[in-house]
Amino acid sequence: MSIDLLVHGGDVLTVDDAGTVVRDGAVAVHDGEILAVGPAADLKARYTADEEIDAHGCLVLPGLVNAHTHLAMTLLRGRADDVTLQGFLERVLKWEAELLSPKNVAAAVRLAVAESVRAGVTSALDMYWFHEAAEQVARQAGWRLHTGPTFMDVPQPPDGMAYEDRLEWARRDLAARSRRPGGRPVLFAHSAYTLSPGQLTEVFALAREFGALVHIHAAENAAEVATVEVRHGKRPVELLDSLGLLGPDVLLAHAVDLTGPEIAALARTGTSVAHCPVSNLKLGCGIAPVARLLGAGVTVGLGTDGAVSSNSLDVLGAVRQAALVHKAGGDPTAVGAEQAVRMATIEGARALGLGEHLGSLEAGKRADLIVLDLDAPHLRPAHDPWSTLAYAAHSADVRDTVVDGRVLMRDRALTTLDERAVIDDLAALI
């Protein structure tokens, strides 16, 4: 049978439920879909490929999923360091009002996509202004972007649109979207401190009308929780629960400052969490209770947050941080290597409601995968792939990146973006 792509010769970490590793394995891809995963000898005998990737000496695994980010914040990287979350927000909101436009967002997202492809990140959930410009950039690069309208009722929003006009605009956006495999509509409600309970209810109702995922910042630090409690009489997660807004179609960003009953509410309603350990540490927000969330059965994915609060879109770096920081309490088993890798792959996909399409290398899923080069001193010997990824590997070790069956990076060279032009274009804006 003739197919589009055959990746063969490396060890394939499928990240399926059994944690299957196929030594000297292969992945067969056609029309953007994984047809088969198995021993390289078997698949090479069954298929003739138009394109091949020789992965000998490498580890093949699902593409990484960035479950919470603000891609165009690459425009402001390094401009709000060593401040609290509230100090960060004061600076960034002012700069966004002054600097953001569709053109600037496009240039900043183009840089973010290049950075992400290099780091083995094959899809991201991106909450930001001018999402149409971001989508166009991602589409041109062949990269998987999950985005949509953002609701944030602040003075002088960068797009100049009043909240009253935003609902109808978002309705038109959702109605015009065509569903493609590996994607779903998304609405972003920034937070319970930038939207009133009535506005939150309206936004969530609109999302549910179209079967969209709702993504919202919640309980990022103690000061945010106190602000919402003073303003509305309830903590952020308590407020969302009291309004009937939690559910399997909701993904919370951060969820650092949680009580036991709030964790129980997330588990009861099937609400997911995007854990951003690097951003949380850098802003002094604290450490999210991930071990308790996992113990309660809450789905937890991994995010980088924006390149202002974390300075990087390196999901593999977030894997390492997630595997290490939760051990600080004295329990080295709190979040293990395998769990951390799963949070960056299949659990991230499940948090987005896309676990049937993304996050593992299995027949019938979309062909988002990466090839990590193991031929380096810091990666040898490679006794265990989970350990290698969580504790030893770096984003620079990613050699090849494939999204929807299309090779976006081969032998560390980007194929759909002119990297020099991308960097120069953003430098010209700065």
Q: Could you read off the pLDDT of 229-255 as tens digits, one per residue?
A: 999 999 999 999 999 999 999 999 999
58 with 402: CB under 8 angstroms?
no
What is the rounded average pLDDT of the residues 41-65?
98
Weakest mean pLDDT among 152-166, 310-324, 378-392: 152-166
- Report pLDDT for 106: 98
3-state secondary structure of 354: coil
Weakest mean pLDDT among 152-166, 258-272, 401-415: 152-166
Helix (H) / strand (E) containing 2: strand 2-8
Cα–Cα distance measured from residue 365 to residue 377, given in angstroms and rounded to the nearest whole number: 33
- Report pLDDT for 178: 74
- E strand residue ranges, 255-377: 272-275, 300-302, 369-373
Domains of the chain, each with CATH number or no CATH: 2-62+359-413 (2.30.40.10), 64-351 (3.20.20.140)
352 with 359: CB under 8 angstroms?
no
Return the bridge partners of 29, or none: 5, 34
216 with 250: CB under 8 angstroms?
yes
Q: To the nearest whole number, what is the mean pLDDT of the chain? A: 97
Give start and end residues of each alpha helix (H) in 47-159: 85-99, 102-118, 131-141
The per-residue b/e assignment along 69-87, b for 16 or more CB within 10 angstroms, e otherwise, is: bbbbbbbbbeebeebebee
Side-chain-side CA neighbours of 54 within 13 Å: the count stands at 1
**Is pLDDT of 286 > 90?**
yes
Handedness of CA 330, 336, 341, 343 (dihedral sign): negative
Dihedral (C-alpha) 276, 404, 13, 399: value to the nearest 10 degrees? -80
- E strand residue ranges, 114-231: 121-126, 144-146, 150-151, 186-189, 213-218
pLDDT band at 85; cut points 50, 70, 90: confident
- pTM exceeds cut of 0.95: yes
**Is pLDDT of 430 > 90?**
no
- Report pLDDT for 4: 98
80 with 49: CB under 8 angstroms?
no
Q: Could you read off the pLDDT of 119-178 as tens digits, one per residue?
A: 999 999 999 999 999 999 999 999 999 999 999 998 889 999 999 899 999 999 999 987
